[in-house]
Amino acid sequence: MRFSVAQLNYHIGNFEANKEKIISAIKKAKEENSDLIIFSELSVPGYPPLDLLDRYDFVEKCSRTVEEIARECREITAIVGAPTINTNPEGKKLFNSALVLSEGKILFSANKALLPTYDIFDEYRYFQPDRKFMVFPYRGFRIALTICEDIWDEQPFDNEFEKKRLYTVSPMDELAKQDPDIIINISASPFSYTKIDVKTSVFRNKAAKHGIPLISSNQTGANAELIFDGASMIINGKGEICYRLPFFEEELRTFTFEDIFSGMPPETGMFSNTVELIHKALVTGIRDYFNKSGIKKAVLGLSGGIDSAIVLCLAVEALGNENVRTLLMPSRYSSEHSVSDAVALADKLNVRYDIISIEKPFKAFEEDLAPLFAGKKQDVTEENIQARIRAVLLMAVANKTGCILLNTSNKSEAAVGYGTLYGDMAGGLSVIGDVYKTDIYRLVNHINRNEEIIPQNIISKLPSAELRPDQFDTDSLPEYRILDSILYQYIEQQKPPERITGEGITREITERVIRLINYNEYKRYQAPPILRISSKSFGQGRIMPLVSKY
């Protein structure tokens, strides 16, 4: 029997576009003589629909769209994801369902049992977990149909204090009692560079534990902060990966069940390196944020530093150089090479740039505020004024030309509040806000792997905001190698301060960094949406109280 895996990019709430994409894939699968085509979790409305699920008209539109897709399922069966009404008198009003469509109707449905409520997930807010488990008989095969988290039941809840299973029920253990031949898992699993190996292990271990081949169909593309890597897998009953669909690309592939059972050879190559995947993820995130918002053009401030340089490169790759423009906004403190380096990069990428000095508006602010500031020394106030002048100029261009302002702050800066609220933290999308400074340099090396795109002078110069004479980031922060190690252990690994260790890390430095993290929560609360590439990004993935004293 032939089956197809449809790894597609969906748009939340765009029912017509999602339906057309699904039906087009169904037709292509039929041309390849496929009997079954498998789509991803909540493929009909797009994932995650969030509070749109509270709207009756939205859920109703999902149901009508499922009916329209079902009418196209003649001589082929499709598995799609959609919310369905919980008709029981108690519980949440919806299930997160996998629907089997054939000959114009719904033949079978499986409801998600394990609803994640950690990191960026809050599915129990909307859905009722199901506790009924049934295999689906199809053309002589018995299929265990699962949805994403349903096969993650054995992932540990792991921190410094306890190690325990997160769930009390295992859907696959229950389904295995009914002797299935195949596991199918439809998912909408976001990308995280720290979870690539974990995700692979979860799928392989589940197949090997039960001795049953597993087919996963994951969505790709991005919806706002969340980026989905695709990388759908075919795994044999030994837990060996036989085939992996591409990362961050739409693709439809057709296989046979017989291939899996008769010894389809396991893949020998591994996935791309981590930096390459981060690069692809960020380009995907930018491209889909613009495509799905309906805005084509971007603007950003180009300082001659490494952060704005890498954001420009990513934006050009995602949108095309004709759709990206930059402003160079030197101040009295800007070094000459900052402007020349920025011009060199803009010329290399053939991107429009304009140079606007901020000296006049800065002087005007100084004069107007002089009576209020009499007798007070210059401090961070004057630095922030310069950053906010630049934000005003950038937003003016964005408003006038219909652009989205791309924010260029990195995760290290965002973590410790090394940025100006309503200044260099402004923007409609934070491109590298989940990328530590040390990883920025790794990304630059990847971009420059074949030729020098970003000038060496930008890479080698000491990081500086250039908001006062002879200013460098290390005046206010530990060197980034030390800072990022502390941040990763505290944020991603959630270690308490006394267990954070490493070369150059002292208790004094650690406590100072953590004070900065905690104090600056209010800044991150007002930051633009951040493209998520880690397991603990700021925003939805890390929700902290604003006035905590802990």
Please give the positions annotated as active site: 41, 112, 148
Phi, psi of 537 (to 5 degrees): -90, 155
Q: How far is the C-alpha of 401 from the C-alpha of 296, rounded, in Å?
A: 11
Q: What type of residue is 213? A: P
The pair of structure tokens assigned to 56 is 């009756």
Quick one: three-class SS letters along 142-197? EEEEEEHHHHCCCCEEECCCCEEECCCCCHHHHHHCCCCCEEEEEECCECCCCCHH
Q: How far is the C-alpha of 255 from the C-alpha of 242, rounded, in Å?
A: 11
Rg of the chain taking only CA atoms, in angstroms: 26
Q: Residue 75: left (phi > 0), alpha (psi -120 to 50), or beta?
A: left
Of all helices (H) and strands (E), which one includes residue 63?
Answer: helix 56-71
Q: How far is the C-alpha of 406 from the C-alpha of 428, rounded, in Å?
A: 6
The pair of structure tokens assigned to 216 is 């996963």
Q: What is the DSSP letter of 433?
A: T
Residue with tokens 């889909």: 288
Residue with tokens 């994640």: 116
Residue 147: CB atoms within 10 A of its CB come to 27
Spatial contact of 290 and 298, defined as CB atoms under 8 Å apart: yes
The helices-and-strands tally (H runs, E runs) of the chain is 16, 21
Spatial contact of 29 and 76, defined as CB atoms under 8 Å apart: yes
Q: How far is the C-alpha of 62 from the C-alpha of 102, rounded, in Å?
A: 17
Residues paired with residue 404 on neighbouring β-strands, in sequence order:
298
DSSP for 434-483, please give it: TS-HHHHHHHHHHHTSSS--S-HHHHHSPP---SSTT--GGGTS--HHHH
Tell me the residue length of the chain: 550
With CA atoms as reference, report the closest residue to 282 among 383, 373, 193. Answer: 193
Q: What is the DSSP letter of 118?
A: S
Burial of residue 223 (number of CB atoms within 10 Å: 0-12, 13-18, 19+):
buried
What dihedral angle (degrees, nearest 10) is formed by the CA atoms of 473, 477, 481, 485? -140
Residue 496: CB atoms within 10 A of its CB come to 12
Quick one: three-class SS letters along 482-547? HHHHHHHHHHHCCCCHHHCCCCCCCHHHHHHHHHHHHHCHHHHHCCCCECCCCCCCCECCECCCCC
